[in-house]
Amino acid sequence: MSDVIGIDVGGTFIKAGRVDTKGNIVKELNEIPTEADQGPKHVISQIIRAVKELSPKEALPVGIGTPGIISLDRSTVKYPPNLPGWEIIDLGKEIASAVNTQVVVDNDANCAALGEAIFGAGKNIPSFVLATLGTGVGGGIIIDGKVFRGETGGAGEIGHSTIDYNGPQCNCGSFGCVETYIGRAYFVRRVAHKLETRKDSLIHELLKDGGELTPEIISRAANKGDAFAYEELREAGYYLGVGLANVMGLFDIHTAILGGGIAQAGEPLFEGVRRAIVQFSQPPIASSFALHHAALGNNAGILGAAALVL
């Protein structure tokens, strides 16, 4: 089999690489600005340019990960958040007709899950749930090595499952979504609020030169022994774990994989997740689940998209 091209369309940057069948990125373009504010036509031309640069002679198969819900035929992108003016666009067809090759599109969280299944932490695990912790909380579910997509392609959105019907309202309109507890902005806001009364926390020291409170700062403080920061990460992990316990129970899946920024915090977060899974799962899962770090890191976007056409 030949190399393929993987493209990850983010709100700010497009990442693109040529990937061999073993999951090595053999050529990578420097981050291309998405320039989403210039509308879909411009973004599409950016993607086409990247494809042509990565496969100037032959037309290699192209996998593309984007935000939004993708049609079951894995071609049409619907209302992607962070890509203004998109509404409904048959991205697969647009690219395929411009470069005359096979194009497969899927949701970025589904791509990340598939990438982990083929190249990463899920390599020998038939079924698992991946949660990607970033600005939002993405989710992808792999069953017997395939992405579980549901009736219309919208399945697996663990970030918008509810863990408290009385919980805070989410950007999505619903209440008590996992994302309202561990999405980046919500998490930072909660910690910032409590920090006002925790004069003893190392975080103050780390911010004394005027930096901004971020999950990375909280994580760094926890690693340096700050009990407050540790507990905040553990609590965030606990909320995520309640959501994971629901997914794992409903799907009868015994493995969860965590990726994305806040997952880098490691042990305090994972400790909270494990505690919640034990507490909120039935015995068959509580006694035998596995929890892993995602393995693909910064390459998850390109490799996950490439996995669509491998």
At 48, list the tokens. 């086409």
- Give me Rg for the CA atoms of the chain: 20
Using CB under 8 A as the binding rule, whether residue 239 contacts a copy of itself is answered as: yes
Distances (CA, A) of 211 to 114, 202, 206, 207, 214: 36, 13, 8, 5, 9
Q: Is 145 an interacting residue with respect to a copy of itself (CB under 8 A)?
A: no
Part of the chain binding a copy of itself (CB under 8 A), chosen from 43-51, 57-65, 116-124, 282-290 = 282-290
Q: Which of 93, 95, 30 is nearest to 60 (CA)?
A: 95
From 41-49, 163-171, 206-214, 256-264, span contacting a copy of itself (CB under 8 A): 163-171
Residue from 245, 262, 302, 305 that binds a copy of itself (CB under 8 A)? 245
Contact flag: residue 254 with a copy of itself (CB under 8 A): yes
Does residue 149 touch a copy of itself according to CB under 8 A?
Answer: yes
Q: Does 66 bind a copy of itself (CB under 8 A)?
A: no
Whole-angstrom Cα distance, residue 53 to residue 56? 6
| Binding track, positions 195-234, relative to a copy of itself; x by CB under 8 A | ----------------------------------------
User: Which residues lie across from 63 on neighbouring strands?
Assistant: 6, 104
CB 237 within 8 A of CB 258: no
- Residue 127 CB, nearest distance to a copy of itself (Å)? 6
Nearer to a copy of itself, 228 or 280 (CB): 280
Query: Which of 25, 48, 155, 213 is close enough to bind a copy of itself by CB under 8 A?
Result: 155
Judged by CB, which is closer to a copy of itself: 62, or 253? 253
- Binding a copy of itself by CB under 8 A: which of 147, 247, 294, 309? 247
Burial tier of 203 (Cβ tally within 10 Å: 0-12, 13-18, 19+):
buried
Distance between CA atoms of residues 240 and 31, nearest Å: 31
Contacts with 218 (C-beta within 8 Å, 6 or more apart), sequence order: 188, 191, 203, 229, 232, 233, 265
**Residue 303 and residue 305: Cα distance in Å, rounded?**
5
Residue 284 near a copy of itself by CB under 8 A: yes
d(CA 89, CA 98): 15
Q: How far is the CB of 213 from a copy of itself (least distance, A)?
A: 25
Contact status: 171 vs a copy of itself (CB under 8 A): no
Tell me which of 99, 175, 207, 291 binds a copy of itself, using CB under 8 A.
175
Instruction: Tell me which of 189, 282, 287, 290 binds a copy of itself, using CB under 8 A.
Output: 282
Bridge-based pairing state of the strands 88-89 and 103-107: unpaired
Least distance to a copy of itself, CB of residue 165, Å: 5
Enter the tokens of residue 136. 């939002």
Query: Is residue 166 close enough to count as binding a copy of itself by CB under 8 A?
Result: yes
Judged by CB under 8 A, how many residues of this single chain contact a copy of itself?
47
Contact by Cβ (8 Å): 284, 276: no
Distances from the Cα of 180 to the Cα of 71, 189, 191, 244, 293, angstroms: 27, 10, 13, 15, 22
Confirm or reject binding of residue 250 to a copy of itself (CB under 8 A): yes
Residues 19-48 that bind a copy of itself (CB under 8 A): none
Residues found near a copy of itself in the complex (CB under 8 A): 69, 126-127, 141, 148-158, 160-166, 172-176, 238-239, 242, 245-247, 249-254, 276, 279-285
